[in-house]
Chains A and B, each alone.
Chain A
Amino acid sequence: MIIKDITIQNFQSYYDSQTLEFSTGLNLIVGNGGKGKSKLFNAFYWVLFGKIYITDIGWCTTDGLPHSAKFSMQRHEFINKRALFEAQDGGDVKVSVCIDLEDDKGNSYTIERKVFVQRLNGSDWQTDNAWNVTNCNLKVSHDSYTGTKVKTDFRATDTINELFPEGIRNYIWFQGESLDSLINFRNKETLKAAVKHISYFPYYEKLSEIITKSKVKIEKLESTKIRDNNKNDKNIKNLLSTIDKLRYDIKSEENIKSQLETNISKIQIALTEDEGKISGLANFTSLVDEYNKCEQKIKEVMFELEKLDNFQRRQVPNLWVLRGIKPMIEKCKEIIKTHTEEQNNVPEKKYLDEPSRAKLEEILTNKKCFVCGADISEGSDARTWILNRIKDQENFLREMEDYTNNMEFSKRFERFIGSIQDYPNTLTISLDSIDKQYSDSENKIEKLQAQKRQHIEKRKKLDEQIEEIKKKYGVNPVQQAQQGQNVATTIKASRSLLVKEQRKLSSSQEVLAQYKADLRVTEKELAKIGTKTGTITVSETEWKNISVFLEDICKRVQENARKDLLHKIEERANTFYRKFTEHDNGYKGEVKIGDDYSIEFDNGLNTSHEDRKKMSIINAMLSLNQEAIGTFYPFISDAPTSSFDFETTHKYLMGIKDIFGQSIIMTKDIDVKSESYKYLARQNNVSRIYLLDSELYCDLGKDPELHEVSTKVTPLKF
């Protein structure tokens, strides 16, 4: 089967109508995050199954939206925002996806799913109640001997189910996010389910089942007829009853045995998981210690940083704001000092009052000192001295008068000055310490920040290691370190239960062996009598013998086929795995699959290797399946390579292009300017390449509104 094209109209990020054509080989859709790859994948899935993929939720039908109060995506929210924005009041928007495909017999199919959404009058286009959305309308048209047939609704759904059987969908319509749930190294049931869904092996199981059921019925018929033929032979009747009872007992015991085997298998899976956890926890005690120490150090550094921050926050308003005012404080100090000195000098000035002004004026008048008799005539130095003395005396007396007049005020003022005179000295000491306080605390902050960065870097590396451990052992050693005791208790209980169940199984096997031996003895006894009397052979006897023979052969063939299939899967998976890891120089290991569906888990590998192994196994099964049943499905996958780097993605695509008749891969891990892309694009089996980008309906440089951005498809190879 190949998909020839898809036309998407107003669906999610696809505005108006856009068509992508596909061919056989690899069809590649490249685009960065948010450019429309997953929406394209959704369009494929929606047109066929009416569902879209929502992260953390899974596949949801659009008719059933909103699915829950927790996840309240409204019914109109999968419709293109620009189309909704442009709708007039009362106007309709048509949303449709249409694909054309051709089956392996050359029959063409056109599948279209559409909905109409009507804008209710007078409502805001962005509100939940602005839209009336119809249910999906599905139509399938296909070629037939009588011309083109058109089917709708459930008949159309039936046709799609015939084209894409349900069991196989998850593997051929492949969402990268769901890889772990499809193949899980710790749970062999996942591989068993995958083999069941996507291989020819189930046909053997069905055949074996039919033969076994027929055998039981034939045995019953045979027994009834023999009983009828020997109504009067008590001995034969008894033997037949014993045989019937033994057969019934064997069947019942086989059911018990099968139930016990299932229980044992479940306990063993749980034990393996728990032992993995315990061994993970035990192996990583030093890692846990290191992580806890690292966390503790980060806490300590944060505490110190907080202390320093608080210190600075206290110091800024209380002292540091005063930085730089020291010269003003010094000046203030000088002013106060001068004032104080003047005050202290007041008593000394009292001498100015002696001799009195009258005496001084008398000397000037007499031009002669009355004490020493010196000459005080005009122009003499002594006369000038007397004149200055009179002036100083006047000032002093005036001050004294002022002081005396404002005695109260002056005293208070001087007391005030007295109270502030130590301010400058106290402040100077504090001011001198500011720069040191600041530089010391800043240096400490810088050192602590460097330490913090180092510890965070270390924790990041430890987180990466823990993430790896989580993937390998299914346990987070740091978070679950405390749960070790609980797991140990569970393991103890599981082991004890396992011993009990194994004891029951072995006893059941003994009982079964005894029943079978008894049955053989009774049958031989009946045969002996039959040989003598010739009454225990009826027409069904031969049929019974044939069915016993067939059952035996079928079981052996089935078992051989099962092992052979697992070996083939392993072999082919390794071929792919080698291709996908070609450029990798480190240890790569190989895919190893046990006869019991177990996949060997390799501790030495990282997540990317694990994912490549899983992809190899899925691809191996799909390709074997296609070869075996002669039906070729297109492999459509969104982000199958999300854990790969560019180089690994390149190798993956180089490998996958030859595996499937048609593959449609959506990925962001390709640089279209790189040499490896150019090399890939030149390959024959790489038939089409599209680039997805954003089409903006707003001015350049402006951040677009929700309705101003949609997906733009550019063909790079067609």
Chain B
Amino acid sequence: MEDIFEIKFTFEQKIKDNIIVKFSNKQGGGFNVFAYHWQCFAWAAVIGFFYEQRRPIQSPKADPVFSLNTMRNNNGDKVAQALICMCIAKAGNLDILKEPDKAITLINEYANGGFYYIQNMINNEENSFNDLEKVKQEIFKRKIIEENDYE
């Protein structure tokens, strides 16, 4: 069984160019919303899972550089845990974890859906906020679904 934490995530090259680079610093640092590319990926994945936006990845793809371990090693333990949990919730059982590739692909596809959602948000953005405000706005306007309603 392959180690799910070591498998690198995949995303489209244009997503990297248009969104990830825009919101994140390349090597970490304090000038942008996200210090690392993987943080932007996680944001998109949460959006994809939350809004049920799953979308297969098109070529050309960007060079894969980070995995769940990258997250865990850079103070992103909770984010890595959350991605696994959401993957399980969407799959409906734990069997998906028996094939880690499939689990990571599922996360990739939801993240891809999330990225397209973000792109749409950028395209429709009428007010010009700084990027942190945009991200905060997206996060805190999410309509929280009551536990009982979620199925």
* Chain B residues with CB below 8 A from A335, complex form: 88-89, 92-94
Verify if B122 is at the interface (C-beta below 8 Å from A): no
Q: Scoring A residues 410 to 454 as 1 if CB is less than 8 Å from chain B, else 0, what string do you get?
A: 001100110010011011001000000010000000000000000
Q: Which of A323-331, A355-363, A521-529 contacts B (4 or more CB under 8 A)?
A: A323-331
* Chain A residues with CB below 8 A from B144, complex form: 323-324, 326
Main SS of the interface on chain B? helix
A416 touching B97 by the CB < 8 A rule? yes
A323, A325, A420, A423 interface centre (most CB from chain B within 10 Å):
A325
Taking the nearest CB of chain A, how far is it from the CB of B67, in angstroms? 16
In the complex formed, the residue of B with least CB distance to A328 is B89
- Chain B residues 37 to 81 lying within 8 A of chain A, measured CB to CB, are 39, 42-43, 46, 49-50, 75-76, 78-79, 81
A317 touching B39 by the CB < 8 A rule? yes
A310, A321, A336, A416 interface centre (most CB from chain B within 10 Å):
A321
A332 touching B136 by the CB < 8 A rule? no
- Chain B residues 101 to 151 lying within 8 A of chain A, measured CB to CB, are 132, 135-136, 139-140, 142-147, 149-150
Taking the nearest CB of chain B, how far is it from the CB of A574, in angstroms? 57
A417 touching B97 by the CB < 8 A rule? yes
Query: How many residue pairs between the two chains, A and B, have CB atoms under 8 Å in the bound complex?
Result: 122
Verify if B34 is at the interface (C-beta below 8 Å from A): yes
Verify if A53 is at the interface (C-beta below 8 Å from B): no
* Chain B residues with CB below 8 A from A330, complex form: 147, 150
Query: Residue A321 contacts which of B43, B81, B85 (CB distance < 8 angstroms)?
Result: B43
* Chain A residues with CB below 8 A from B90, complex form: 328
B30 touching A316 by the CB < 8 A rule? no
* Chain B residues with CB below 8 A from A316, complex form: 33-34, 132, 135-136, 139
* Chain B residues with CB below 8 A from A328, complex form: 49, 85-86, 89-90, 150
B46 touching A325 by the CB < 8 A rule? yes
In the complex formed, the residue of B with least CB distance to A322 is B82
Query: Residue A413 contacts which of B30, B46, B97 (CB distance < 8 angstroms)?
Result: B97
* Chain A residues with CB below 8 A from B35, complex form: 317
Q: Scoring A residues 324 to 358 as 1 if CB is less than 8 Å from chain B, else 0, what string do you get?
A: 11111111110110010000000000000000000
Once bound together, how far apart are the Cα atoms of A313 and B88, in whole Å? 29
B89 touching A322 by the CB < 8 A rule? no
Once bound together, how far apart are the Cα atoms of A312 and B131, in whole Å? 13
B39, B43, B78, B88 interface centre (most CB from chain A within 10 Å):
B88
Verify if A125 is at the interface (C-beta below 8 Å from B): no
Once bound together, how far apart are the Cα atoms of A336 and B81, in whole Å? 14
- Chain A residues 59 to 87 lying within 8 A of chain B, measured CB to CB, are none
B81 touching A420 by the CB < 8 A rule? yes
Verify if A320 is at the interface (C-beta below 8 Å from B): yes
Verify if A318 is at the interface (C-beta below 8 Å from B): yes
Once bound together, how far apart are the Cα atoms of A312 and B130, in whole Å? 14
Once bound together, how far apart are the Cα atoms of A330 and B4, in whole Å? 21
B43 touching A423 by the CB < 8 A rule? no
B86 touching A332 by the CB < 8 A rule? yes
Given A318-B76, A328-B150, A409-B1, decide whether A427 and B94 contact each other with a Cβ distance below 8 A: no
A423 touching B145 by the CB < 8 A rule? no
Verify if A672 is at the interface (C-beta below 8 Å from B): no
Query: Residue B145 contacts which of A320, A327, A333, A426 (CB distance < 8 angstroms)?
Result: A327
Verify if B14 is at the interface (C-beta below 8 Å from A): no
A323 touching B85 by the CB < 8 A rule? no
Taking the nearest CB of chain B, how far is it from the CB of A348, in angstroms? 20
B140 touching A413 by the CB < 8 A rule? no
* Chain B residues with CB below 8 A from A426, complex form: 78, 81
Can you list 21 contacts pairing A with B, beta carbon distance less than 8 Å? Answer: A309-B132, A316-B135, A317-B39, A317-B43, A317-B79, A318-B39, A324-B139, A328-B49, A330-B150, A332-B88, A335-B89, A335-B92, A409-B98, A416-B4, A416-B97, A423-B81, A424-B85, A427-B78, A427-B81, A438-B136, A438-B140
